[in-house]
């Protein structure tokens, strides 16, 4: 359904800003409104998110997307998984930087002027 990063970012966004509409969520995540709608429906069906109606003005109805206790647990899991992946990426980048610096120091790279 959702990759770890998207799940983490969506759950974090809903937790921090429950009254964002789907268009705002889509803009923040850099995805389509249709994908946001699909994802929110999936999270709701899993019992992780509850959509509650509220009125923003006399003419508009809106929703507040609230994380349920299960949703908070999943957000914690998603955060741990996301952090593990980012740490692994960081370690890989550090190793690559060391390798590239060594290559430069050994004269294996010719600079472009």
CATH code of the domain in which 73 resides: 1.10.10.10
What pLDDT was estimated at residue 6?
86
pTM of the predicted structure, to 2 decimals: 0.73
What pLDDT was estimated at residue 67?
95
Within a domain: residue 113? no
What pLDDT was estimated at residue 17?
93
With beta carbons less than 8 A apart as the criterion, state whether 35 and 26 touch: yes
Within a domain: residue 40? yes
CB proximity list for 97: less than 8 A, separation 6 or greater: none
Mean pLDDT by 10 residues, the chain (113 residues): 83 93 94 93 94 61 86 94 95 96 81 53
Within a domain: residue 46? yes
Q: How many domains does the chain have?
A: 1
Within a domain: residue 94? yes
Q: What angle do CA 79, 45, 86 make, to 5 degrees?
A: 15
Q: Where are the alpha helices (DSSP H) in 33-109?
A: 33-45, 69-105
What pLDDT was estimated at residue 2?
72
Within a domain: residue 79? yes
The range of the structural domain enclosing residue 21 comes to 4-105
Beta bridge partners of 15: none
Beta bridge partners of 55: 61
């Amino acid at each position: 359904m959702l990759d770890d990063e998207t799940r983490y970012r969506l759950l974090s966004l809903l937790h921090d800003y429950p009254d964002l509409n789907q268009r705002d969520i889509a803009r923040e995540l850099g995805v389509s409104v249709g994908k946001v709608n699909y994802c929110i429906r999936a999270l709701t069906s899993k019992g992780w998110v509850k959509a509650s109606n509220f009125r923003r003005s006399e003419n508009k109805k809106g929703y507040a997307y609230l994380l349920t206790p299960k949703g908070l647990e999943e957000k914690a899991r998603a955060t741990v998984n996301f952090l593990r992946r980012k740490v692994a990426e960081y370690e890989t980048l550090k190793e690559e930087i060391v390798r590239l610096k060594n290559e430069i120091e050994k004269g294996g790279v010719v600079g472009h002027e």
